[in-house]
Amino acid sequence: DVTVVDEMDTFTRVWSISSGTYSSRFGSVGTSAVALAARKLKAKLVEYAAHLMDVPPGEVEFRDGGVHRTSGKAAAYSIKDLAGRAHWNTESLPEGMEPGLSATAVFGFSVARAVDAEDRVNSSNTYGFIAEVMAVEVDPDTAAIKILKYVTVHDAGTIINPMIVEGQIYGGALHGLGGALYEELAYDDDGQLLTGTFMDYLVPTASEAPDIEIAHVVSPSPLTTLGSKGLGESSSMTVPAVIANAVSDALRPLGISITELPMTPTRLHERIEAARPAGRA
């Protein structure tokens, strides 16, 4: 099992040596530390098994869930077997090797710089990239926006878990669509919140989710252990921009450019009506 310990408690501390996993840092920083620790543990397993086999470490290899001889048909040692021996039979360990199977690793960016005079720091150091294209259709009578095609291309470096990546992209895209088309903290002239419940504060559901064509350009980061960059927020930041630009292009003949979100049907309908030629319904 892998246990990731992050001792940042924002309820009791505003700053810690651990700055958390925000800003997609787990994909770059957390996984790098995990990979380094796993490599240390693998090296320990190989050394221990080689000692038990009474051969140099160079004559064994880790594969198929255990340590095997690189040649011949000698018995292999599974991880389970080695873990049990390292805990219960400590006299079988090589001289100087600590009992048990555990490893600790700390990862830091080699290019990281100290906090500047204004208390700012570059916490990410490596960055993913997104390019998106969207085609929309705007109903001139109801101002309803229909997404005809949506393509999103990501460069998150080495992709560690494709299923999680897809989920992050879909979730981020829907989050962005919510901010672009539905969600708004509206107040009346007296400062009373008008969207305090989900009856009034609209969020997109599966019914509003468009089909998304996802593609990847993989350029591994030279700064992380696995080459990963992370894409935690993914399309949540780009969707509002791409759909606003697409709607602006659709309404270009009317001279309408989107400069305010969300683009609710009521707000968009008012702009369309105001832009129509005089005397035309």
Q: What is the pLDDT of residues 72-99, one digit of tens each?
A: 778 899 999 999 999 999 999 999 999 9
Alpha carbons 122 and 23: distance in angstroms, whole number: 11
- Residues with Cβ within 8 Å of 191's Cβ and at least 6 positions away in sequence, in order, are none
For residue 157, is pLDDT > 80?
Answer: yes
Prediction pTM value? 0.80
How much is the pLDDT for 166?
94
* Residue 240 confidence (pLDDT) above 60: yes
pLDDT at 122: 83
Q: Is the pLDDT of residue 184 over 80?
A: yes
d(CA 235, CA 215) in angstroms, rounded, equals 13
- Note the pLDDT of residue 181: 96
What pLDDT, on the 0 to 100 scale, is given for residue 26? Answer: 83
* Domains with residue ranges and CATH for the chain: 1-109 (3.30.365.10), 129-275 (3.30.365.10)
Residue 49, number of CB atoms within 10 A of its CB: 25
| Cβ atoms of residues 124 and 19 within 8 Å | no
Beta strands at 145-155 and 213-216: parallel, antiparallel or unpaired? parallel
When pLDDT is averaged across residues 255-274 and rounded to a whole number, the result is: 93
Phi, psi values for residue 135, rounded to 5°: -115, 130
Identify the pLDDT of residue 121: 82
- The residue ranges of DSSP E strands in 20-165, in sequence order, are 60-63, 66-69, 77-78, 129-138, 145-155
Instruction: Determine how β-strand 77-78 pairs with β-strand 129-138.
Output: unpaired
Burial of 232 (0-12, 13-18, 19+ CB in 10 A): middle
Q: Is 129 helix (H, G, I), strand (E, B) or coil?
A: strand
CB 262 within 8 A of CB 179: yes
Tell me how far apart the alpha carbons of residues 45 and 32 are, in angstroms, rounded to a whole number: 20
Instruction: Single out the residue of 20, 219, 28, 17 nearest to residue 129, CA to CA.
Output: 219
In this prediction, residue 8 carries a pLDDT of 54
User: What's the Cα-to-Cα distance from 22 to each of 9, 109, 157, 235, rounded to whole Å?
Assistant: 13, 16, 18, 16
Q: What is the mean pLDDT of the chain?
A: 89
pLDDT band at 232 (very low <50, low <70, confident <90, very high): confident
